[in-house]
């Protein structure tokens, strides 16, 4: 731990945290653990407990041999050995530049409690948004999986049984029945190849998910999908505004804030816009002019950012935009949740219904012919 701290101090530049990778994935504590950590630490500090004692209390609460216990224990040891809280977090290697910089500013300004509460609120809102997205996607994925299973079962087992019966009777079959039987035969023959092809595509996409070319293509495709594209853009706008509000309100310079947001958003169109804005702002351009060149930012957003720059209240503007986008996103996700359930049921019913009608139609025709 000391070696890590020494390396961090040796680099020493004011903005060295911009060159470090952000660790907000499974390689460190999850969002829920971070939210609990910052909230509990903030409460203890507000009660008059010093940072070292507060961390010791939090370490005692953690499960034995857990990552959190080891991580928070290491931070506590670094503080005992003379490091500041932000230096100890930096040396731990599991915290993002956004978190480390916020804590550093809290220490320097004497507002560490407020910063900790802001960080806890940030992760709380992030968790809530994730849960809303998972809730919106889980039902259609479940129904879609059941649909695929039902279609596979019917094409693999049910349709061939009817096909054998129809061969015995002979005669011409309705066009829809012929189509379903043909589909069943081709499906059985080509299913292994289809499965291998789909698996290969999924593996290819997963292994290249961080490649620029793939991120560029997938983000462009997502934004073009009706309804889903609008919600995706709004989700990233919400995160952008929330993070910019927290950073600027913590007195972090605009360029530094932009650099942190670029690493945290992980959405190609916004990363490109922020990268362009960083370059042009150093040349004297304003933020609103730079962002107006990119369609991912709505006109209303650009206008309000311009007003914020003119009156020097960008943090308040981003705060209001965050609240507005957050409310709109929650409303749209809940609306999709209420609409998608009946639509998926109708979708499943139609597919199964078409197959059943196609199989029973020749039998109905045969019965009317006999009479």
Whether the per-residue pLDDT at 135 is higher than 90: the answer is: no
End position of a domain, from candidates 61, 80, 110:
110
Residues 145 and 95 in one domain: no
Decide if 2 contacts 16 (C-beta within 8 A). Answer: no
Q: What is the pLDDT of residues 301-351, one digit of tens each?
A: 999 999 999 999 999 999 999 999 988 888 888 887 778 778 888 888 888
Residues 50 and 174 in one domain: no
Q: Which of 24-28, 43-47, 48-52 has the lowest mean pLDDT?
A: 24-28
Percent of the chain scored above 70 by pLDDT? 90
Residues 144 and 92 in one domain: no
Q: What is the pLDDT of residues 160-169, one digit of tens each?
A: 888 888 877 7
Residues 95 and 20 in one domain: yes
Residues 21 and 140 in one domain: no
For residue 291, which of 313, 267, 273 has the smallest C-alpha distance? 273
Residues 171 and 238 in one domain: yes
Whether the per-residue pLDDT at 219 is higher than 70: the answer is: yes
Using alpha carbons only, give the angle 164, 165, 169 rounded to the nearest 5 degrees.
115
117, part of any domain: no
What mean pLDDT value characterizes the chain? 83
State the pLDDT at residue 37: 93
Q: What is the DSSP string of 15-73?
A: TGGGGSPP--STTS--HHHHHHHHHHHHHHHHTT--HHHHHHHHHHHSPTT-HHHHHHH
Q: What is the pLDDT of residues 338-370, one digit of tens each?
A: 787 788 888 888 888 888 888 888 877 766 655
Residues 104 and 175 in one domain: no
Residues 158 and 23 in one domain: no
Count of domains for the chain = 2
116, part of any domain: no
Whether the per-residue pLDDT at 11 is higher than 50: the answer is: no
State the pLDDT at residue 81: 93
115, part of any domain: no
Whether the per-residue pLDDT at 226 is higher than 80: the answer is: yes
Residues 201 and 258 in one domain: yes
Residues 6 and 36 in one domain: yes
The pLDDT confidence band at residue 178, using thresholds 50, 70 and 90, is: confident
End position of a domain, from candidates 110, 136, 158:
110
State the pLDDT at residue 280: 92
Residue 48 sits in a domain of what CATH number?
1.20.81
Residues 269 and 245 in one domain: yes
The residue ranking higher by pLDDT, 92 or 187, is: 92
Query: Which helix H or strand E contains 110, and what residues bound it?
Result: none
State the pLDDT at residue 20: 34
Decide if 90 contacts 100 (C-beta within 8 A). Answer: yes
The pLDDT confidence band at residue 25, using thresholds 50, 70 and 90, is: very low
All residues at 6 or more sequence positions from 37 whose CB lies less than 8 Å from its CB, including other chains: 29, 58, 68, 72
* Residue numbers of the domain that contains 35: 2-110
State the pLDDT at residue 2: 38
Tell me what the mean pLDDT of segment 15-29 comes to. Answer: 42
* Torsion angles phi and psi, residue 58, rounded to 5: -65, -40
State the pLDDT at residue 7: 38
CB atoms within 10 A of CB 30: 15
Decide if 216 contacts 268 (C-beta within 8 A). Answer: yes
118, part of any domain: no
The pLDDT confidence band at residue 8, using thresholds 50, 70 and 90, is: very low
Distance CA 151, CA 137 (A): 21
The pLDDT confidence band at residue 171, using thresholds 50, 70 and 90, is: low
Residues 271 and 191 in one domain: yes
State the pLDDT at residue 14: 36
All residues at 6 or more sequence positions from 234 whose CB lies less than 8 Å from its CB, including other chains: 325, 328, 329, 332
Whether the per-residue pLDDT at 248 is higher than 50: the answer is: yes
State the pLDDT at residue 19: 33
Tell me what the mean pLDDT of segment 206-230 comes to. Answer: 87
End position of a domain, from candidates 79, 110, 141:
110
State the pLDDT at residue 12: 38
Phi-psi region of 285 (alpha: psi -120 to 50; beta: other; left: phi over 0): beta
């Amino acid at each position: 731990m000391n070696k890590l701290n020494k390396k961090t101090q040796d680099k020493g530049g004011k903005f060295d945290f911009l060159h470090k990778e952000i660790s907000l994935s499974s390689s460190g504590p999850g969002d829920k653990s971070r939210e609990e950590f910052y909230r509990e630490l903030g409460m203890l500090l507000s009660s008059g407990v010093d940072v070292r004692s507060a961390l010791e209390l939090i370490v005692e609460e953690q499960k034995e041999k857990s990552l959190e216990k080891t991580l928070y224990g290491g931070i506590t040891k670094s503080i005992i050995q003379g490091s500041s809280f932000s230096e100890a977090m930096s040396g731990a290697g599991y915290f993002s530049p956004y978190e480390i910089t916020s804590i550093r500013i809290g220490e320097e300004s004497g507002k560490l409690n407020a910063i900790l509460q802001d960080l806890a609120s940030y992760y709380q809102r992030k968790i809530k948004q994730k849960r809303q997205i998972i809730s919106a996607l889980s039902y259609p994925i479940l129904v879609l999986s059941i649909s695929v299973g039902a279609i596979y079962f019917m094409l693999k087992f049910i349709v061939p049984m009817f096909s054998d019966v129809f061969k015995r009777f002979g005669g011409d079959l309705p066009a829809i029945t012929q189509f379903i039987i043909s589909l069943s035969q081709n499906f059985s023959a080509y299913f292994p190849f289809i499965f291998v092809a789909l698996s290969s595509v999924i593996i290819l996409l997963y292994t290249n998910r961080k490649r620029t070319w793939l991120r560029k293509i997938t983000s462009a495709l997502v934004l073009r999908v009706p309804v889903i594209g609008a919600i995706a853009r709004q989700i990233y706008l919400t995160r952008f505004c929330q993070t910019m509000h927290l950073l600027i309100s913590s007195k972090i310079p605009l360029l530094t804030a932009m650099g942190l947001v670029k690493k945290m958003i992980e959405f190609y169109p916004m990363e490109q816009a922020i990268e362009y804005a960083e370059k042009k702002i150093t040349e004297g351009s304003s933020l609103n002019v730079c962002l107006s060149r990119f369609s991912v930012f709505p006109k209303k957003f650009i206008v309000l950012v311009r007003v914020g720059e003119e009156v020097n209240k960008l943090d308040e503007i981003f705060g209001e935009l965050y609240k507005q986008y957050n409310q709109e996103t929650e409303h749209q996700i809940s609306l999709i949740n209420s609409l998608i359930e009946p639509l998926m049921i109708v979708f499943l019913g139609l597919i199964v219904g078409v197959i059943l009608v196609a199989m029973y139609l020749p039998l109905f025709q045969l019965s009317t012919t006999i009479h």
